[in-house]
């Protein structure tokens, strides 16, 4: 069976959400415009997430998983997904399902001429503090990166795999994926998508790692931009 699209789902202590993830992603795979599969990346969960993930994968041939020995954070989970994907296209979605898998089809419509298509949460269903801190953080990142993106933290993206595999990920850099595609001379676009309240589980990001942490990450990005190696091979003899 030839797959064209892999959906990466980072998981950390999401036992209350995973059966809904199975239901919604299972439904989406039937209507996806590409032949798709799902890759869970369990980031060292301490609850029953792994048990549930393994049960999901046993009853769904299109579902697979990676399990970390220890918690390493969202950037590491996304990077591991990138490293293990073997399809031309990849995407990722958070396991809290505050975005809908069905909206992947909106992003896939645009991936042809673009190398990264990211969602933009037009009407966010988060708390005022969370919305305000994200707005400020996005403004700071946009000033540092000049990537033109209004919502780099949106957990719904589609990327051409060859570009994703060349991203030198480090902790916090998942917030700079559009900018890292631009460093490769790739093309990016943002598309409005729906956003929903969290139905179960707890958010993994607070004020520090939503606002002050990303500010420090901006300086790491500037260092990366200065040192980044990018080349194109014209001929091989």
Q: What are phi and psi of 13, to 5 degrees?
A: 55, 60
Q: Which of these, 150, 172, 168, lies nearest to 218 by C-alpha position?
A: 172
Single out the residue of 88, 117, 232, 223 nearest to residue 168, CA to CA: 223
The whole-number mean pLDDT for each consecutive block of 10 residues of the chain, a chain of 237 residues, reads: 94 95 97 98 97 98 97 93 97 93 96 95 64 64 72 89 89 83 93 79 55 69 76 80
From CA 90, how far away is CA 106, in angstroms rounded?
14
CATH number of the structural domain 5-227: 3.90.550.10
Bridge partners, residue 66, by sequence: 41
Q: Spell out the domain ranges in the chain.
A: 5-227
Per-residue confidence (pLDDT) for residue 199, from 0 to 100 = 62
Q: Which of 126, 151, 127, 156 is nearest to 141 (CA)?
A: 151
The set of residues, in sequence order, having a beta carbon less than 8 Å from that of 99 and lying 6+ positions away, is 93, 119, 121, 154, 155, 156, 193, 194, 195, 196
Cα angle value 170/176/181 (rounded, 5°): 100
In angstroms, how far is CA 162 from the centroid of its own chain?
Answer: 15
Alpha-carbon torsion, ordered 92, 80, 4, 150, to 10 deg: 30
Selection from 129, 190, 202 nearest residue 154 by Cα: 190
The predicted structure's pLDDT at residue 205: 52
Tell me, what's the pLDDT at 221? Answer: 77
């Amino acid at each position: 069976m030839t797959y064209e699209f892999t959906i990466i789902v980072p998981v950390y202590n999401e036992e209350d959400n995973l059966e809904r993830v199975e239901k919604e992603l299972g439904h989406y795979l039937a209507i996806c415009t590409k032949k798709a599969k799902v890759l869970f990346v369990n980031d060292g969960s301490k609850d029953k997430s792994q048990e549930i993930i393994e049960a999901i994968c046993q009853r769904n041939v299109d579902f697979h998983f990676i399990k970390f020995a220890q918690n390493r954070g969202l950037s590491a989970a996304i990077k591991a997904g990138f490293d293990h994907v073997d399809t031309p296209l990849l995407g990722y979605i958070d396991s809290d399902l505050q975005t809908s898998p069905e909206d992947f089809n909106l992003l896939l419509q645009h991936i042809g001429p673009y190398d990264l298509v990211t969602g933009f949460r037009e009407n966010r269903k988060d708390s005022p503090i969370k919305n305000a801190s994200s707005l400020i953080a996005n403004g700071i990142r946009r000033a540092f990166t000049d990537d033109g993106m209004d919502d780099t933290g949106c957990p719904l993206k589609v990327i051409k795999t060859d570009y994703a595999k060349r991203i030198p990920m480090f902790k916090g850099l998942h917030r700079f994926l559009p900018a890292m595609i631009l460093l490769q001379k790739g093309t990016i676009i943002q598309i409005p998508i729906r956003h929903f309240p969290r139905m179960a589980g707890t958010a993994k990001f607070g004020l520090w790692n939503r606002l002050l942490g990303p500010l420090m990450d901006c300086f790491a990005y500037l260092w990366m931009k200065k040192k980044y190696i990018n080349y194109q091979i014209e001929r091989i003899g």
